[in-house]
Structure 1
Amino acid sequence: MTTVYDFTVKKANGEEQSLRDYEGKPLIIVNTASKCGLVDQFKELQEIYSQYKDKDLVVLGFPCSQFNNQEFDNIEETTEFCQLNYGVSFPMYGKIDVNGKNEDPLFTYLKSAKGGLLSKDIKWNFTKFLIDRNGEVVERYAPTTKPAKMDKDIRKVL
């Protein structure tokens, strides 16, 4: 059976990283966009990460420009923006596609594990997936769902 730990992703610096490095840890995986109207979710995601990192929770951010090109072209700009404006200290990865022929295999898996309301496709920035300690997708949250609303589910996987 496949889990998120079976995937390798590109870090912001271009190096590959196996998600097996997070094995046994609950995760929140989210597609992000620095110029999106929902950008304040970075603040809440950082608050959740800070609150629960001692209990092994890790937030993984994946910048994406597929929705109205709302991400910087340069990944260094993205990471600097997130750190300076929202204090982001959770891992941010390289820019990816979450839908279509060039979509990242991790997101293909996430979408197949938990489809959306009308289709499996990701509809917008800040779609969030909660992963349990076994690497399995527990829940998918809409872009407009504030990260704080995930707290009850997060506590269940800790």
Structure 2
Amino acid sequence: MWRIYGDQGLSVMAFPCNQFGGQEPGSDEEIKQHVTQKYGITFDMMSKIPAVNGPNQVPIYEWMKSTEPGKNQAIKWNFTNFVIDRCGRVRQRHEPNEHPETWEDQVVALLLEEPAC
């Protein structure tokens, strides 16, 4: 989706986390190299974070979970997606089993929406 809509204002940020099954044991550089080579990822890859749930969760996840519907529900697995509008409001949360094509129209609508901040 980023390859298609990046030039229209879509930004993607990935936050690697080793909290789920130890799937991200590498260093920041190793993780970035892996996803670039295996998946062709070119969007922003943040530094690895300690947790998205529990007492060690980072503030951005605490904030995203507290502002979306179903407030403060735990992240169930890697690749949970939050859609944040141009005004910084969490508008959607999508679980890893939801393919991005199923919510692409919603993202496009937000890109076309006049920000009302």
TM-score w.r.t. length of structure 1: 0.66
1:102 paired residue among 56, 67, 74: 56
Supply the distance in 2 between the matched residues of 1:140 and 1:68 (Cα, whole angstroms). Answer: 22
Q: Aligned residue for 1:144?
A: 97
CA distance in structure 2 between the aligned counterparts of 1:115 and 1:100, rounded to whole angstroms: 19
Q: Distance in 1 between matches of 2:102 and 2:43?
A: 19
1:128 matched to 2:81: yes
Kindly indicate whether the alpha-carbon contact (under 8 Å) linking 1:115 and 1:121 is maintained by their aligned counterparts in 2.
no
Alignment correspondent of 1:33: none
Give how far 1:72 is off. 2.8
1:157 & 1:133 partners in 2: Cα distance? 8
Q: Displacement, 1:129?
A: 0.4
Mapped partners of 2:101, 2:45: distance in 1: 20
Counterpart-to-counterpart distance in 1, 2:85 and 2:95: 18
Instruction: Find the partner of 1:77 among 30, 42, 54.
Output: 30
Taking the TM superposition and a 5 Å limit, the aligned residue runs for 1:1-158 are 48-96=1-49, 97-116=51-70, 120-158=73-111
Report the alpha carbon displacement of residue 115 of structure 1 after superposing the two structures with TM. Answer: 4.7
Relative to structure 1, the CA distance from residue 98 to residue 115 in structure 2 (aligned partners, 3 Å threshold; closer, same or farther) is farther
8 Å CA contact retained: 1:114, 1:120? no
Q: Which has the higher contact order (CA 8 A, sep 6+)?
A: 1
Give the fraction of aligned pairs with identical amino acids, expressed as a percent. Answer: 39
- The residue aligned with 2:115 is none
Using the TM superposition, give the Cα deviation of residue 100 of structure 1 relative to its aligned residue in structure 2, in angstroms.
1.1
1:75 and 1:95 in contact (8 A); partners too = yes
Deviation at 1:73, TM superposition (A): 2.6
Tell me how far apart the structure 1 counterparts of residues 79 and 16 of structure 2 sit (CA, whole Å).
9
RMSD: 1.4
